[in-house]
A and B are shown apart, each in its own frame.
Chain A
Amino acid sequence: MEHINWIHNLPFFSIFIAMFAILLTAMFRTAKMAKRIHMTMMCIVVILSAILTYHMAVAPETFTFTMGHYPAPWGNELTAGPLEALMALVFGTVMLLSVMGGWVFIEKDVLQEKQYLYYIMLDAAMGAMLALIYTNDIFTAYVFIEINTLAACALVLAKGTATAMVGATHYLIMGLLGSGLFLFGVSILYSITGHLLLPQIGEAVTVLAASGQYHFALLIATAFLFIALAIKSGLFPFHTWLPVAHPIAIPASSAILSGFVVKGYVIFAIKLMYSVFSVEFMHELGIIDILFVFGVLGMVFGSLSAMRQRKMKKILAYSSVAQIGYIYMGVGLGTEIGLTAACFHMIAHGFTKSMLFLCAGSFVKQCGNIDDMDQMRGIAYKNPVAGIGYTIGAMSMIGIPLLAGFISKLYFATASIFSEGKMAASLLVLGISMILNALYFLPSVMAIWTTKKGMQEAKRANISPWFITSIVLLLCINVGLGVWYQPVIELIEVGLQLLQK
């Protein structure tokens, strides 16, 4: 037993603990137990990921973990490096804090008898996300994408109202379209390369790209895979499900959906790009430029649509569309610094947007389930924690210095300078979208901090201590990321270098 490398077992343990939580919850079938199991599971996963990240920061390496007795081209495999470990840690933390802050809403909005099902779906989303991050096998990725879609869909319809069902149906249709395209892509890729594991596909693709054989099939397979991942993560022309799904989902679901469910697909896209198709080949196929164009369009149109909204959650949903645009712009720049910026933005946006959704949910609950911004005048005085959280989150999204959003925008700007032919477009759009961000966030911030004449004195609402804890922690992380961003950036850079084939 002494030759076991426990560090290398950590990805396997975290995935299987999440899966075990699903089964355990389904066995007990009570809301109370479900909550306990979920929180224990999340704490364990976060601690394991933290250990792995620490290990990766001290001694960076990538390792593979064979699932079973059979090595790479025959059996399933997991792989982990600094980037994967960091992302698992970030997503685990976002999930833990979102659920902690969202307990109140889960207990209020979900039927008592169905709460355990909600927790099952949370566990499933976490397990699928971890597997999607760590997997080294494209078919495993497909299966876990399916689990993730199912779980996210159930999270959206948690309220069980008619509008929730409409939103979930939208999401399901778009999600299934994405799954179908992904499966097409995988099967075409398998029939021309003969492999399902990422490194082996990568080798075969290199040979095919050099010889020019099956060029069209390769192009279409790549296009399908990336379109599927773009649909799943809500890139601009396929973003329509996001603004429908967010306003009707309960705040915890929105926070999770925007905070990390849509980002796991981007991580997998980056993994595909780096360890399978290599950046040069993506340039050659032109897919990277298409991603860039749609990312840039998403930044502008997401923000413009957000400006037209008067409902707080819709503003946040369209803002998510714009931020996904930022991430894809970073990916589309095709340079390492661009990808670093994209990864950092994923982290920053994950922490910020989950906080914003929780705060917005708290306001909505205080107004008696009214989502209109004009009904929320002066609500921040009733609920100062959520008010401060919302304000700081909005400032971070706009890009005020000392906050996490600023760093990612700084890196985007730096990255655009180093990329040929895309500098003007990306810098210009970055500037425009920052102004637009300010234009749609500031009215809502002003609305919550100003009272109307003749309004009665604000009474302090009683807020759950767990909500306060989660918002305070998210705030601390946000400021911390804005000030001590260097170690995170270094870890991402090392991770990307190790990922490159």
Chain B
Amino acid sequence: MEWRMWLQKIKDWVDGYTVMIDADMYIANRKRREKWDWRSIIDFIYEKDLHKLHNTLCVMCCVAFIGVMLLVVNDLPQYGNVNNPANNEVSVRYVEEGLEETGAVNLVTGMILDYRAFDTFAEANVLFLSVMGVLFLLKTDKKNDDKQQQMVRKKDAEMEAIEQKPIRQIGAKYLTPFILLYGIYIVINGHISPGGGFAGGVIMGGGMIFYATAFGKEKMEQIFTFRSFANISVGSLLTYFVCKSYSFFTGANHVGWEVPKGVAGNILSAGLILPLNICVGLVVACTMYGFYALYTKGDI
């Protein structure tokens, strides 16, 4: 009657209930049989050993990785050597003809916003999408809240109302305009001096965070709401999108109609690089502030 047993087993497999009951019975029986208590001690030791093993494995993996990376660095070409593979026709053209071809005095800006603008567009999208992802996760939803969350929020608001922060407030009041101005300066001069959209955007975002820490949520909501956040980010990404699709399309199909480059060194020069820098700066600033706002109060 061996095969009957097997049939029963397959039936049990399909039909989860009996297996579950069997498992329960098995556990019950096993407990009844169990009389010695040294088993628990062994379990405890075993678990502890496993933890130790995990820690050891972690350390060993890290050491192995560090070793491999050190060996690789040893094998890599020496930094700054003239004969390095990275010093090839690519960087030569960037350095020698970059100014003429892109119109940007700052060669790095010319590289990221003209030669390799597709990567930068994707990078700006990464920033925007990461805020959207965090929004998906953390955005508090006032309609579907339970009581506990409402209590927590109420307490936070009360704490914020009571809290005195005179130094920060005075500092923010007088410093924020200058911080923002400096950020704007760096963004707008991105193509003629060091800096650019990413650097200036971080400074602007930092200024906004500073102001928000000093004056709290309500004051910030008067000037910067979720609507303005989304409109500024999406607006600048759309501008970037339109500019770059135009330039990709005309460039790839050799249509002509190039944007005039202007005189290198002027503010209004370098073709599309100035508007692109402003777009990138705005997106970065919004992303910085968006992360801060979402992680502190779950809303922008």
Interface, chain A (partner B; CB < 8 A):
1, 3-5, 8-9, 12, 16, 19-20, 22-23, 26-27, 29, 65-70, 73-76, 111, 113-114, 117-118, 120-121, 124, 131, 137, 139-140, 143-144, 146-147, 150-151, 153-154, 157-158, 160, 165, 168, 184, 188, 190-195, 204, 214-217, 220-221, 310, 372-375, 377, 443, 446-447, 450, 452
B7 at the interface (CB under 8 A from A): no
Q: How far is the CA of A29 from the CA of B132 in the complex (A)?
A: 12
Given contacts A23-B241, A147-B129, contact A65 B252 (CB under 8 A): yes
CB of A160 within 8 A of CB of B247, answer no
Q: How far is the CB of B88 from chain A (nearest CB, A)?
A: 4
Extra 20 A-B pairs, beta carbons < 8 Å, given A29-B230, A111-B141, A216-B72: A5-B253, A19-B125, A20-B241, A23-B237, A26-B234, A74-B90, A121-B132, A137-B118, A139-B116, A143-B122, A150-B130, A188-B76, A192-B76, A192-B77, A194-B91, A215-B75, A216-B71, A220-B71, A310-B16, A374-B20
Q: Note all chain A residues with C-beta closer than 8 A to B86.
A: 190-191, 194
Given contacts A4-B255, A140-B119, contact A193 B249 (CB under 8 A): no
Q: Note all chain A residues with C-beta closer than 8 A to B247.
A: 68-69
B133 at the interface (CB under 8 A from A): yes
Given contacts A3-B254, A131-B122, A195-B88, contact A12 B132 (CB under 8 A): no
Cβ 8 A contact of A9, one of B15, B77, B115, B252: B252
Given contacts A9-B249, A76-B119, contact A121 B76 (CB under 8 A): no
Which residues of chain B in 223-275 are interfacial with respect to chain A, using CB atoms and an 8 Å cutoff?
A: 230-231, 233-234, 237-238, 241, 245, 247-249, 251-255, 258
Given contacts A68-B252, A191-B85, A192-B76, contact A114 B136 (CB under 8 A): yes
| Minimum CB distance partner of A114 in chain B | B136
CB of A66 within 8 A of CB of B251, answer yes
Q: How far is the CA of A273 from the CA of B85 in the complex (A)?
A: 22
CB of A73 within 8 A of CB of B119, answer no
Cβ 8 A contact of B14, one of A20, A147, A153, A447: A447
Q: How far is the CB of B259 from chain A (nearest CB, A)?
A: 10
B199 at the interface (CB under 8 A from A): no
Q: How far is the CB of B267 from chain A (nearest CB, A)?
A: 23
CB of A193 within 8 A of CB of B116, answer no
Q: Note all chain B residues with C-beta closer than 8 A to A154.
A: 132-133, 136-137
Identify 9 residue pairs between A and B in the complex whose beta-carbon atoms are under 8 Å apart, listed by A's number: A1-B255, A8-B252, A16-B245, A111-B141, A151-B129, A194-B84, A220-B68, A443-B10, A450-B14
B221 at the interface (CB under 8 A from A): no
Interface, chain B (partner A; CB < 8 A):
10, 13-17, 20, 68-69, 71-72, 75-77, 84-91, 93-94, 101, 114-119, 121-123, 125-126, 128-130, 132-133, 135-137, 139, 141, 144, 230-231, 233-234, 237-238, 241, 245, 247-249, 251-255, 258
Q: Note all chain B residues with C-beta closer than 8 A to A374.
A: 14-17, 20
CB of A27 within 8 A of CB of B234, answer yes
Q: How far is the CA of A120 from the CA of B255 in the complex (A)?
A: 33
CB of B137 within 8 A of CB of A214, answer no
Q: How far is the CB of A142 from chain B (nearest CB, A)?
A: 9
CB of A9 within 8 A of CB of B76, answer no
| Minimum CB distance partner of A157 in chain B | B137
Q: How far is the CB of B245 from chain A (nearest CB, A)?
A: 6
Q: Note all chain B residues with C-beta closer than 8 A to A372.
A: 16
Q: How far is the CA of A102 from the CA of B217 in the complex (A)?
A: 38
Q: How far is the CB of A303 from chain B (nearest CB, A)?
A: 15
Q: How far is the CB of B279 from chain A (nearest CB, A)?
A: 12
CB of B76 within 8 A of CB of A191, answer yes
Q: How far is the CA of A153 from the CA of B137 in the complex (A)?
A: 10
Q: How far is the CB of A22 from chain B (nearest CB, A)?
A: 7
Q: How far is the CB of A230 from chain B (nearest CB, A)?
A: 16
Q: How far is the CB of A155 from chain B (nearest CB, A)?
A: 9
